[in-house]
Amino acid sequence: MIPPGRAAAFRDAVRHYSDWRGEAEPEVSLDLKPALISTVCEVVLSFSDPLPEDVFEKLFSHLHAEHTALRAELDRDPDLCHCWPLLSQID
């Protein structure tokens, strides 16, 4: 099970990803230190906890019509270990 601090860091990473517009990659707090959102996502790859509903909805909102396969994959496996690979494919 993912530790609460890492779950919070991932939630923050997803929120920052939503606002990221191509400038320097955002950082969030991970273990009380700044970490790039991609680092946080890599850290949670080993966890298979289900995504909290608000995080799932935020991720799903980034997947548009041209991302049909990605939408199906996230819908089929809405867990932490699938999220960053999916986000990294969204342009």
CA distance 49 to 52: 9
For range 2-28, the mean pLDDT: 88
**Of 35, 43, 42, residue with least CA distance to 16:** 35
- Which among 74, 64, 10 is positioned nearest to 36, based on CA atoms? 10
Which run of H or E residues covers position 17? helix 4-19
Structural domains counted in the chain: 1
**pTM (2 d.p.):** 0.73
pLDDT-derived band at 30 (thresholds 50, 70, 90) equals very high
pLDDT digit string (tens) for 44-53? 888 888 878 8
Cα 7-8-14 angle, rounded to 5 deg:
90
Give the residue numbers spanning the domain of 8: 4-87
